[in-house]
Structure 1
Amino acid sequence: MSTLTERNEPAGPAGTTARPAEVADGYRAGRTLPLRVELARQLKRRRTYVMGAVLALLPFVLVVAFAIGGEPDRPGGRVNLMDTATASGANFAAVNLFVSAGFLLVIPVALFCGDTVASEAGWSSLRYLLAAPVPRMRLLWSKLVVGLGLSLAAMVLLPVVALAVGTAAYGWGPLRIPTGGALDPGTAAQRLVIVVAYLFVSQLVTAALAFWLSTRTDAPLGAVGGAVGLTIVGNVLDAVTALGDWRHFLPAHWQFAWADAVQPSPEWSGMIQGAAVSVTYALVLFALAFRGFVRKDVVS
């Protein structure tokens, strides 16, 4: 008995009836390319291991740097976050986030979201995935969810390793605030969770930009490099004070707003504005990615 069934399609132009499409018995579009399958594929890739190793090694590098460097110079007696890095494990974790938020954390986000579709096209396997058949929207959705999930995992990995390394090197204690005061360890841990969550939301712009570029090119390096490059351009523009209030529309302007969360009395306005800007840009870019890919003639 045949395993294919016929499904009537809507009428075509000029009232003609489209040819019935043959669909295999038991076929469900929503079951194609499950998230666990896509996640397993991405976890097996070498760049995932390399990126994880780089983030996990950073705290060890900083411990060695602080051990070699000794006490920092403090012009005018001013104390900043870097000066408190060795005060406790919580301070060390906060410093790791501070030194990596501007650039290092951009790379895994751009890599995991920008390499995902373009790499399939570069391997000439994208058309075979679609012929499986995996619906285009399903394919993009699976790859986007896994890309964002790996990006979040990378952002969680760094502070977790830093907290463990910092606690082993400097002890478990309150998070000292450069402006005065301290947060007890329990409160500090909660605030660090908020910081990581904000960093993830603020990086959605980079993720969306990389994902959109990934649907437009067959070169993974072009998608990843383009996203990183445009993020750097945003940082440069934010440094141009002549732009005045126009800088408030740049996601880079709010990338360190999370510092307001590690104060005795946290201030949320900056993080709310930064999150709103990031999510707005990200939604537009994600929409462009899905809209363009659905209409794209895939030949790779």
Structure 2
Amino acid sequence: MSQADETTAAPIRAQEQATAPRASVSGPGPGPALLLSEIRTLFRRARTIAMLGALAAIPILLAVAVRITTRGDAGRGPAFLGSIAGNGLFVSLTSLVVAIPLFLPLTVGVVAGDTIAGEAGHGTLRYLLVAPAGRVRLLVTKYLGAALFCLVGVVVIVVVGGIIGAILFPVGPVTLLSGQTVGFAAYAGRMALLVLYVTISLLGLTAIGLFISTLTSVPVGAMAATIVLSTVAQIIGQLPQLSFLDPFLFTNYWLGFADFLRSPISWDNLQANAVLQGCYIVIFGFLAWGRFTTKDILS
């Protein structure tokens, strides 16, 4: 079809959809289908696969490095290296500690910053809004897709870390920070809670990225701004002079999962983290809604 024919056909398609029965507009039908389409599109992108591959490489590189450097020399090096060499189950935990400050926010910033700005930059946002989903449902769908990426990214690190740790090192009962020893099943349950904790920790950043993505049609700019904000928040959290801001930083509880490595488990950090991230989701979700629902869509 020529460009002239496509230009002529576009208004006809839009008019046909506008005159279609309105029962589908208010019903729940488009929601699951739109979400499944978003998930398929997100996880089929070469960029997404590459980022998940990079996250999977973190525990692999860490385990290989420890295996090489501690061979015949287990008494030297940082304490956590000795823990990994003594029990491969610690690879997942150590990999998360390494990934949380930089690598996970980097990938989440890319995905969240691309949610709306990417569609606008590719000229597909206008056609998405012709569908009966509407702007609010599209925002929610984009956010849920990005949130799912947070979960998948954390799971990839933990699962790959467990596999490579079992291959390269001995595996046995795990000694917790409180001194008790637990078996594999109990430790796996704690790691599942840790995955939940880290995923929740990234939801506030995801909401921020979604809001920034509604401000521009340049996805690279939205990605960069989201990542920079994550870095700035972590720097502020390290400055004693600005310690009064710590309770309000979305990064404040990112490394507060040590409670899951004690017995009994304390839920205080999880609850405080969930409340903090929930506040960021509400605030920046509302800002994204206010911006996106009043924005002129030109592309």
Verify same fold: TM over 0.5.
yes
Name the CA shift for 1:261/1:184 in 2 (closer, same or farther; >3 Å): same
| Residue in structure 2 matched with residue 244 of structure 1 by the alignment | 243
| Residue in structure 1 matched with residue 92 of structure 2 by the alignment | 93
**Residues 204-258 of structure 1 deviation map (CA, whole Å, 9 limit, x = unaligned):** 1110111111111111111111111101101100111122343222222211110
2-structure distance, mates of 1:205, 1:97? 18
- Does the Cα contact within 8 Å between 1:260 and 1:267 map onto a contact in 2? yes
Describe the SS at the equivalent of 1:216: coil
Return the index of the structure with the highest Cα Rg: 1
Name the CA shift for 1:22/1:192 in 2 (closer, same or farther; >3 Å): closer
| Residue in structure 2 matched with residue 258 of structure 1 by the alignment | 257
Following superposition, the deviation at residue 93 of structure 1 comes to 1.1
Name the CA shift for 1:22/1:53 in 2 (closer, same or farther; >3 Å): closer
Number of aligned positions between the proteins: 276
Equivalent AA in structure 2 for residue 237 of structure 1: I
| Residue in structure 1 matched with residue 45 of structure 2 by the alignment | 45
Show structure 2 runs of 5+ residues with no match.
1-16
Equivalent AA in structure 2 for residue 240 of structure 1: L
Following superposition, the deviation at residue 119 of structure 1 comes to 0.6
2-structure distance, mates of 1:216, 1:93? 37
1-structure distance, mates of 2:206, 2:49? 19
Equivalent AA in structure 1 for residue 241 of structure 2: A
Describe the SS at the equivalent of 2:266: coil
Equivalent AA in structure 2 for residue 272 of structure 1: Q
Name the CA shift for 1:250/1:198 in 2 (closer, same or farther; >3 Å): same
2-structure distance, mates of 1:269, 1:134? 38
1-structure distance, mates of 2:245, 2:110? 29
Name the CA shift for 1:62/1:295 in 2 (closer, same or farther; >3 Å): same
2-structure distance, mates of 1:245, 1:24? 55
| Residue in structure 1 matched with residue 156 of structure 2 by the alignment | 157
Among 20, 31, 45, the alignment partner of 1:24 is 20
Describe the SS at the equivalent of 1:86: helix
Name the CA shift for 1:264/1:134 in 2 (closer, same or farther; >3 Å): closer
Provide the aligned C-alpha RMSD in A. 2.1
- Does the Cα contact within 8 Å between 1:81 and 1:178 map onto a contact in 2? no
| Residue in structure 2 matched with residue 59 of structure 1 by the alignment | 59
Following superposition, the deviation at residue 274 of structure 1 comes to 2.4
**Superposition TM-score, scaled by structure 1 size:** 0.85
Name the CA shift for 1:26/1:270 in 2 (closer, same or farther; >3 Å): closer
**Residues 137-179 of structure 1 deviation map (CA, whole Å, 9 limit, x = unaligned):** 1222222212211221111111011111111211332223356
| Residue in structure 2 matched with residue 269 of structure 1 by the alignment | 268
| Residue in structure 2 matched with residue 18 of structure 1 by the alignment | none
| Residue in structure 1 matched with residue 176 of structure 2 by the alignment | 177
> Equivalences for 1:196-215 in 2 at 5 Å?
196-215=195-214
- Does the Cα contact within 8 Å between 2:174 and 2:182 map onto a contact in 1? yes
- Does the Cα contact within 8 Å between 1:90 and 1:189 map onto a contact in 2? no
2-structure distance, mates of 1:146, 1:69? 40
**Residues 11-51 of structure 1 deviation map (CA, whole Å, 9 limit, x = unaligned):** xxxxxxxxxx9531376124446222222222221111101
Describe the SS at the equivalent of 2:115: helix
Name the CA shift for 1:295/1:85 in 2 (closer, same or farther; >3 Å): same
Following superposition, the deviation at residue 292 of structure 1 comes to 1.4
Name the CA shift for 1:22/1:35 in 2 (closer, same or farther; >3 Å): closer
Equivalent AA in structure 2 for residue 136 of structure 1: R
1-structure distance, mates of 2:167, 2:35? 37
Following superposition, the deviation at residue 294 of structure 1 comes to 0.8
| Residue in structure 2 matched with residue 130 of structure 1 by the alignment | 129
| Residue in structure 2 matched with residue 10 of structure 1 by the alignment | none
Name the CA shift for 1:22/1:220 in 2 (closer, same or farther; >3 Å): closer
Q: Percent identity at matched positions?
A: 27
**Residues 115-145 of structure 1 deviation map (CA, whole Å, 9 limit, x = unaligned):** 1211110011111221345411122222221
2-structure distance, mates of 1:37, 1:178? 43
2-structure distance, mates of 1:283, 1:171? 45
Segment drifting more, 271-280 vs 121-130: 271-280
2-structure distance, mates of 1:64, 1:138? 45
